[in-house]
Structure 1
Amino acid sequence: MAASQKLATFIMDLGSLLIKSVFRTKEQQSMTKRFKVVITDLMTEPLDAERLVLGEVADVIALDAKSEAELVGQIEDADAVMVYHYLTFSKSSIDRLSYCRVIVRPGVGYDAIDIAAARERGIPVCNVPDYGSEEVADSAVAMAVSLARGTHLLCNRLRRGVGPWNVDQAKPIPRLRGRRFGIVGCGRIGTAAALRAKAFGLEVAFFDPYLPDGIDKALGIRRVERLDDLLSSSHILSVHCPLTDETRGMIAASEISRMPQGSFLVNTARGGIVDTVAVVDALQRGRLAGAGIDVLEQEPPPVDSPVLAAWRDPNHPAHDRLLLNPHTAYYCEEGSDEFRTKGAQEVMRALLGQPLRNVVN
Structure 2
Amino acid sequence: MPERFRVVITDLIVEPLNHERAVLDEVADVVALGAMRESDLIGQVENADALMVYHYFRLTRATIDRLRNCRVIVRPGVGYDGIDIAAARERGIPVCNVPDYGTEEVADSAVAMAVTLARGSHFLNSRLRRGIGQWNVDQAAPIFRLRGRRFGIIGCGRIGTAAAMRAKAFGMQVSFYDPYLPDGVDKALGIHRSESLAELLSTSHLVSLHCPLTAETRGMISANEIRQIPRGGFLVNTARGGVVDSQAVVDALADGHLAGAAIDVLEHEPPPEDSPILAAWRDPSHPAHDRLLLNPHTAFYCEEGCEEFRTKGAREVLRALQGQPLRNVVNA
TM-score normalised by L of structure 1: 0.91
2:257 to 281, 287, 290: 287
SS in 2 for 1:338: helix
- Find the aligned partners of 1:100 and 1:294 in 2 and give their Cα distance: 33
Distance 1:304 1:210 in 2: 37
Q: Distance in 2 between matches of 1:229 and 1:80?
A: 44
Q: Secondary structure at the match of 2:165?
A: helix
Q: Deviations over 1:132-179 (max 9, x none)?
A: 000000000000000000000001111111000000000010111111
- The whole-number CA distance in structure 2 between the counterparts of 1:360 and 1:312 is 38
Work out the CA distance in 2 between the residues paired with 1:163 and 1:336. 41
Separation in structure 1 between the aligned mates of residue 289 and residue 95 of structure 2, nearest angstrom? 40
In 2: Cα distance, 1:229 partner to 1:219 partner: 19
> Residue 133 of structure 1 aligns with which residue?
103
Q: Deviations over 1:238-282 (max 9, x none)?
A: 000000000000001110011100000000000000111110110
Q: Do the aligned partners of 2:241 and 2:266 also contact (CA within 8 Å) in 1?
A: yes
Matches within 5 A, 1:311-326: 311-326=281-296
Q: CA deviation at 1:33?
A: 1.8
* CA distance in structure 1 between the partners assigned to 2:13 and 2:295 by the alignment: 20
Equivalence for 1:338: 308
Partner of 1:152: 122
Please say if residues 246 and 276 of structure 2, whose CA atoms lie closer than 8 Å, have aligned partners that are also in contact: no
The one-letter code sitting in structure 1 at the alignment partner of 2:30 is: V
CA distance in 2, matches of 1:55, 1:214: 45
The whole-number CA distance in structure 1 between the counterparts of 2:291 and 2:18 is 40
Aligned equivalent of 2:317 = 347
Aligned pairs for 1:109-188 within 5 A = 109-188=79-158
How many angstroms does 1:306 deviate by? 1.0
Alignment of 1:4-15 (within 5 A): none
Find the partner of 2:67 among 97, 104, 107. Answer: 97
Query: Which structure has greater helix proportion?
Result: 1
On the 8 A contact 2:106/2:159 being kept in 1, the answer is yes
- What does residue 267 of structure 2 align with? 297
- The AA in structure 1 aligned to 2:131 is G
Q: What is the DSSP-based 3-state SS (H/G/I as helix, E as strand, rest coil) of the residue aligned with 2:296? A: coil
Runs of 5+ consecutive residues of structure 1 not aligned to the other structure: 1-28
Q: Which runs of 5+ in 2 are unaligned?
A: none
Residue pairs, 1:1-361, within 5 angstroms: 29=1, 32-361=2-331
Deviation at 1:62, TM superposition (A): 0.3
Distance 2:116 2:245 in 1: 22
One-letter amino acid of the counterpart of residue 71, structure 2: R
- 1:182 partner amino acid: G
Q: Find the residue that maps to 1:246 and give its secondary structure.
A: coil
Q: CA deviation at 1:214?
A: 1.1
The sequence identity of aligned pairs, in percent, is 76
1:292-342 superposed Cα distances (whole Å, 9 cap, x missing partner) = 000001000001111111001111111010000000000000000000000
How many equivalent pairs are there? 331
Aligned partners of 1:181, 1:268: CA distance in 2, in Å? 15
Question: CA contact under 8 A between 2:37 and 2:57: conserved in structure 1?
Answer: yes
TM-score under structure 2 length normalisation: 0.99
The secondary structure found in structure 1 opposite 2:239 is coil
Aligned to 1:4: none
Amino acid of the structure 2 residue aligned with 1:283 = L
Matched residue SS, 1:198: helix
Give the distance between the partners of 2:183 and 2:95, measured in 1 at CA: 29
Task: List, as ranges, runs of 4+ consecutive aligned residues in structure 1 with deviation greater than 6 Å.
Answer: none
Q: Distance in 1 between matches of 2:132 and 2:9?
A: 47
C-alpha distance in 2 between matches for 1:66 and 1:209 = 36
Q: CA RMSD in A?
A: 0.5
| Secondary structure of 1:205's aligned partner | strand
Partner SS, residue 252 of structure 2: helix
CA separation in 2, counterparts of 1:331 and 1:277? 26
